[in-house]
Structure formats: structure tokens, C-alpha cells
Amino acid sequence: MKFDLLPKLGVGLGFREPFRADVFLNQDKIDFLEITADHYIDTTKEKERELDLLKRHFTLIPHGINLSLGSAEGIDELYLERLARLIETIEPPYFSEHICFTKAGGISIGHLSPLPFTREAVDVISRNIETVRTKISVPLILENITYMMRFPDTEMNEADFVSKIVLENDCGLLLDVTNLYINSVNQKYDWREYLEKLPLERVVQIHFVGGHKHKELLIDSHSHKTPDEIWEVTKEVMKRAPVKSAILERDENFPPFDELLKELETAREIGRMFKRWD
């Protein structure tokens, strides 16, 4: 896959229902929207109408949270078929998912759960991506998650793990700069060294937002404005990687919409500084 052929989408917002009126009122300031795919799978008539309306006004990028690409027991075929139908409806230039597992042994964990950084986990993800590609031909980009748990049987570091998955499966990278920063603090590593190890030419999109602190840990709660430290990571990534799109991923503690627009403008300026878009 030639990722440089993907369109430059600019700076957008992770769509959440409370933003509904504001995104239409500020269409000229939002280049595209990322939608949570699960909100539109097996859904209500109202959500179908919402999706149709959004599609008529914005480029939409579906962002999956429950494909569970890291599940050793394989992909949930029914979920995959529904996701494939949604993607057919939206016709996006690409779609995204996480490097994690969310289901095992009939249990839905309810959150993005980390994988051990092992060869076996890379192989499991590769098999699952192969299955996904039998139903979805749109390019897939993969996101790094935050993790608190470290497994005793780890065979490589996180950056090597992510790189192997992306390179061996011809995927793009959705680099969540907030997750990268949070992991670097919680796991005590240097995010610049992490970037050195990544195939930065594969970065298609970034996510940015602020989290909160709980005791000594940083939490990716998507609940606060993007702090300076994360803008610094954003700058470094924009400088070095051919980023085509950036999404503000705010989920909680919503501020006045103008504050979100300011953050979009900051990201837009950073992208312009490094000629990532006009």
C-alpha cells in the first residue's frame, strides 16, 4: 500500500453526540470527522439518519474499538461483517483500529487491553488482519494504546512491537501522541527514542487530547485540553512524519466548543509549519 497516495484530510474532530449542532455551525473550521464505528453498527434509526447527515457534510473516518485484532481466538465474524457494511456505506479513504484485544473466552472486556510484546502476539494480529482484509479492502491504520500492565513474558520493547505489526502487515500508523507521551511517563522511557524506532513514513494520522493525573500515573481520559508536553510531541511527529490528518479526541468534561476549535487551530498551525497541509 502506498500510504503517500492517501488524501491529506487536515485537522478534524472525533465526533460525539454533544457536538452535533456545533460541528454543523463550524463546518468551515473542521476539515473532517472521525466517527466511532461501534456507534453506528447495529444501531437505531436516529443514528442512521445522523450518519447520513454527517456523511453529506464531512469526510468521515471510521475508528473501530471492538474488532479485537489481538484476540488469539480470532475475529468475531458477525462484528466484522457489520463493520464491513458500515465502511461500504461511508466509503472512507481508510479506517482505523487499535493494537489490543477486547474479547476473550466469550467475555467482552469493555476496554482496550494490552498485548504482551511477543512474536506470538504479532503473529495473532497478522492472522486477524488477513481475515479482516477478506471483507474490507479499504486501507487499515493501527493505533498505539496506553497500558499500565507489563507482562512477564515480553520479548521486545513497545516501539519494536508496533513497528513489526505495521511493517509486516502493510498497515498505516495512527500515532496517538497522547498515548505515546502517557506511556513514556508511566513506563519511564524517552518518547524521542521511541520515535526513532518507529517507521515514521507509515504515520498517516495522529490523535491528540489531554488526560489527567491519578497519583503518579497519567491516565488517557480524553478529558482535558491538550497540554504543552503533548503539543511538543505533536510538533516532533509533524516535523518527521508525513502526517495527513490529525484528530482531537475529546470524550469527557466537554468545554465550550470554541475551546475545541482553538485546539484544532493549534494543530492546524503546527501542520502548516511543517507543510503537512495548506
Partner 1 sequence: MGLAEQQKALARLYTDTDLREQFLIEPVNVGKEIGLNEDEAKKLSEVSKDELTFFSESLVWKRLNEVTKLLPLVRKAVGKDFEKMFFEFSATYNPTGVKKHLEDTIAFCSYLEKRVEGDWIFDLIRFEKAFLEFNGLNRKCLVRCFSFDLRKAIENLSNDENVDSIEKKCWCGIWLRLGKKGKAKFYRIFIPSVLFLRHLR
Q: Which residues bind partner 1 (CB under 8 A)?
A: 38, 41-42, 44-46, 66, 70-73, 79, 82, 101, 103-111, 113, 115-116, 118, 120-121, 124, 148-153, 217, 219, 252
Of 9 and 41, which has the nearer Cβ to partner 1?
41
Of 119 and 239, which has the nearer Cβ to partner 1?
119
Of 223 and 266, which has the nearer Cβ to partner 1?
223
Least distance to partner 1, CB of residue 164, Å: 15
Least distance to partner 1, CB of residue 86, Å: 11
Least distance to partner 1, CB of residue 51, Å: 15
Of 4 and 46, which has the nearer Cβ to partner 1?
46
Least distance to partner 1, CB of residue 113, Å: 7
Of 178 and 234, which has the nearer Cβ to partner 1?
178
* 8 Å CB contact between 157 and 120: no
Question: Among 241, 139, 246, which Cα is nearest to 194's?
Answer: 241
